[in-house]
Chain A
Amino acid sequence: MRQALTFVSLNHESTPRHGKTRTHLSRARTALFAGGFIAAAALAFLLSGYQLFQATMIIAYGVALLGLNILTGYNGQISLGHGAFFALGSYLTAVLMTSFGVPFWAAVVASGAASMAVGYAFGIPAVRLEGLYLALATFALGVAVPQLLKAHFLEQWTGGVQGISLDKPEAPFGLPLSPDQWLYLCALIAAVFLFWTAINLLQGEPGRIMRAIRDHEIAAQAMGVNTSHYKALTFSVSAGYTGIGGGISALAVQFVAPDSFTMFLSISLLVGIVIGGIGTVWGAFFGAVFILFVPALAESVSKAAPWAVYGGVLIIFMFLMPSGVVGLLRRVLHWRN
């Protein structure tokens, strides 16, 4: 079955043919990742204040976008409501920390687990829906969650319209780190773990099955894949990633309120994965940079109509690089070879 599945998704993922090139490549890659990690960790001591906050937010959005990309890019299920899972993760982290005194790391992990559970529960009926219908269903989710967060019966935990303020965790064991640096480093380590897990997941059999479902669901079924099971599972993993991203962002912002999680967030997430590169792992990073910085840049270009500038940038991006930043980079590298 594995070989057959590889065959199905051959068009999209080029499988290395020679074992030698593969180890060679992967060694170069490991070196690249290690270098990247050290550089990213060094940022904790080079950046200060607001810049460090932005770096943490890039990590938070990056993890969330990776989650959405697993669902949309690798499994072909479109979601216009992933902001709901981002909100869920943010709120759970905040509530667990403020109302129940849970340590921050455990709160984020629990938020991720809870988002996975909710994602699975939502994924079960959603597997019956395809394309636009799924877009509408997820849109409904994205609309419903901010309204639910304002609802009266949840107010004792969510704080209603007021939201919740929370404190940044202090570095333990008397480490000479400011709370900003500590949070950034923790987020970075979590992101490395999550990206590593995602890469393994996507390169292994589950990833092949996901792509097979995306490319031809009926063929995948004929090959013995339990497609609805895998689609619901993918939904769950995706929601979990996005929930953890939300948890990290709640810690960085130190505040959660229903109005931070409007439809605009869900749409930004979708924009982020398309700009970064659909069906790529590292697109999440470029997408995160885009959704964090471009709105502010647009505002500096035109104070009167920043969103017109933003929309223009979006359209230009899609004209110049329809397969996202990673797609463009790949094309450039390929062309040089």
Chain B
Amino acid sequence: MKRSAGSILEFKVFNMDGFLEQLLVGVSTGGVYAIMALALVMIYSATHHINFAQGEMAMFSTFIAWQLIQFGIPYWFAFVLTIAISFVISCVIEVAVIRPLTHRPVLSVVVVFIGLLVIFNSLAGLLFGYTIKEFPSPFSNLEWLSISLLTPHQLGALLVTFALVVLLFLFFRFTTLGLTLRAAAQNPRSAELAGIDSGRMLLVGWGLAGAIGAIAGMMVAPVVFLDPNMMSGILLYAFAGALIGGIDNPVGAVAGGFIVGVMENLLGTYVVGTELKLTVALVIIVGVLIFKPEGLWGRRIVARV
């Protein structure tokens, strides 16, 4: 009904409030993409690998949170516990599966990531079942959070996103661990000469990525409902967001996540309908990358010959 461009009907349907609402909904889903994009950047900047299993790991973390809540643990306690568990799981994967492959060809590592992806997907189905589950939102009963255009959860998720970005910024800027992490990611060899154990930093980077992914999962689950395939589309949008913003730039990746979220939502509502929105969003992203291959805020890679 909103699809045919230029019809008289469309002018009636299009109103500023509706547009603003779609824009804000886009910003709120974009927040989740931004968090996932951050998780991807966390691992990419240290190892130059895209963790294709990141989304499934986040989904698995969300299932852990769901299970904890089912046990009767209060939401915020379960939230923190899940983040801690995800941190540990992620570290274990780094040590057990990824570290032994350090000097292997890139594509072998890609296949291992695909292996992890299907393992987590299958295990989640086996342990928790394939039925779609409702996931509670901690913000749903906070009426004061609701402004006219967004539900309390959408606003709450947005606040969590901003809080996370600010926290990470402060962490990387002002703490010793954050600085050493950045040093190890930027130049492992020099960092080691300065006494930094870059292997351990890699471990922490993976752990952080797992923890950040868990937050994204718990924020998106109340919206899309929880099932083993919950994150596959989200990971793709996050990947696109990270690339469009600049994969080596956390701030760019966050901005990219928001851009993709808004674009996806507006395209789906006003231009092509929900069925083709993924395709169209991807085509536009690829189009941007063709003209700006390093992303909007990425560093141009200069190779020495």
Q: Is the Cβ of B275 less than 8 Å from the Cβ of A133?
A: no
- Residue-wise, chain B 99-121 has the 8 Å CB interface mask toward A (1 for contact) of 01100110111111011111101
| Docked-complex contact A129 and B290, CB < 8 angstroms | yes
Which of B118, B126, B293 sits near A310, CB closer than 8 Å?
Answer: B118
Taken residue by residue from 135 to 151, chain A's Cβ proximity to chain B (1 for < 8 Å, 0 otherwise) reads as 11101100110011011
- Chain A residues within an 8 Å CB radius of B32: none
**Which residue among A140, A219, A323 has the maximum number of chain B CB atoms within 10 Å of its CB?**
A140
Does any Cβ of B come within 8 Å of A225's Cβ?
Answer: no
Identify whether the interface residues of A are mostly helix, strand, loop, or mixed: helix
CB distance from A296 to the nearest CB of B (A): 15
Residues of B89-141 contacting chain A, CB below 8 A: 97, 100-101, 104-105, 107-112, 114-119, 121-123, 125-126
On whether the beta carbons of B126 and A304 are closer than 8 Å, the reply is yes
B305: interface (CB < 8 Å): yes
Whether B118 and A307, one on each chain, are in contact in the complex, defined by CB atoms closer than 8 angstroms, is: yes
Interchain nearest-CB distance for B74 vs A (Å): 31
Known interface pairs A136-B240, A307-B119; A314-B112 also in contact (CB < 8 Å): yes
Bound: A148/B278 CA distance, A:
12
Indicate the size class of the contact surface on chain A: 35 or more
List, in ascending order, chain B residues with CB within 8 A of A278's CB.
Answer: 105, 107
A275-B111 contact given A136-B243, A147-B279, CB 8 Å threshold: yes
Query: Which residues of chain B from 284 to 302 have a CB within 8 Å of any chain A CB?
Result: 285-286, 289-290, 293
Q: Which residues on B sit within 8 Å (CB–CB) of A147?
A: 275-276, 278-279
Q: How far is the CB of A319 from chain B (nearest CB, A)?
A: 7
A218 to B303: give the CA distance in the assembly, Å: 9
B282 at the interface (CB under 8 A from A): yes
Residues of A within 8 A of B115 (CB): 310-315, 318
A135–B247 alpha-carbon span in the complex (Å): 14
Using a Cβ–Cβ cut-off of 8 Å, how many residues does chain B contribute to the interface with A? 41
A-B contact pairs, 8 of them (CB 8 A): A132-B247, A137-B286, A139-B282, A143-B279, A275-B111, A307-B118, A315-B115, A319-B100
| B50 touches A (CB below 8 Å) | yes
How near does chain B come to A176, taking the closest CB pair, in angstroms? 44
Report if B149 contacts A (CB, 8 A).
no
| A43 in the interface (beta carbon within 8 A) | no
The answer for the CA separation of A254 and B227 in the assembled complex, in Å, is 34
A274 to B112, CA, bound (A): 10
Nearest CB in chain A: distance from B259 CB, A: 15
CA distance in complex: A219, B278 (Å): 38
A308 at the interface (CB under 8 A from B): yes
Chain B residues with CB below 8 A from A323, complex form: 105, 108
Chain A residues near B278 (CB, 8 Å)? Answer: 143, 147
Q: How far is the CA of A140 from the CA of B237 in the complex (A)?
A: 11
* Contacting pair B105 A307 (CB below 8 A): no
A231 to chain B, nearest CB (A): 14
B166 interfacial contact with A, CB 8 Å: no
> How far in angstroms is the closest Cβ of chain B from A315?
4
Contact of A140 with B279 in the complex, beta carbons under 8 Å: yes
Query: Which residues 259-293 of B have a CB within 8 angstroms of A?
Result: 275-276, 278-279, 282-283, 285-286, 289-290, 293
CB-based contact B126/A274 at 8 Å: no
Closest A residue to B121 using CB positions: A307
Known: A136-B240, A271-B114. 9 other contacts (CB 8 A): A132-B50, A133-B289, A140-B285, A140-B286, A274-B108, A305-B123, A307-B118, A307-B122, A318-B101
A125 lies within 8 A of chain B by Cβ: yes
**A289-337 interface (Cβ within 8 A of B):** 304-308, 310-315, 317-319, 322-323
Q: Within the assembled complex, what's the spacing in Å between the Cα atoms of A318 and B107?
A: 10
B239 an interface residue at 8 Å Cβ cutoff? yes
List, in ascending order, chain B residues with CB within 8 A of A166's CB.
Answer: none
Q: Which residue of B lies closest to A309 (CB)?
A: B122
Which A residues from 103 to 157 make CB contacts under 8 A with B? 125, 128-130, 132-133, 135-137, 139-140, 143-144, 147-148, 150-151
A311 touches B122 (CB 8 A): yes
- Give, as a whole number of angstroms, the nearest-CB distance from B45 to chain A: 13
Q: How far is the CB of B66 from chain A (nearest CB, A)?
A: 19
Q: In the complex, A278 Cα to B289 Cα: how many Å?
A: 27
Given contacts A137-B286, A139-B236, A144-B283, whether A311 and B108 have CB atoms under 8 Å apart is no
The reply to whether A128 and B114 form a contact with Cβ atoms under 8 Å apart is no
Q: Does A267 contact B (CB under 8 A)?
A: yes
Cα–Cα, bound, A275→B114 (Å): 12
CB-CB contacts below 8 Å: A142-182 with B: 143-144, 147-148, 150-151
Least CB distance from A324 to B in Å reads: 9
Interface residue A72 (Cβ < 8 Å from any Cβ of B): yes
- Using A137-B289, A139-B282, A315-B115 as known contacts, say yes or no to A274 and B110 having CB atoms under 8 A apart: yes
A270 sits at the interface (CB 8 A): yes
In the bound assembly, the distance between CA atoms of A311 and B111 in angstroms comes to 9
Give, as a whole number of angstroms, the nearest-CB distance from B12 to chain A: 25
In the complex, which of the residues B97, B118, B278 has the most CB atoms of chain A within 10 Å of its own CB atom?
B118
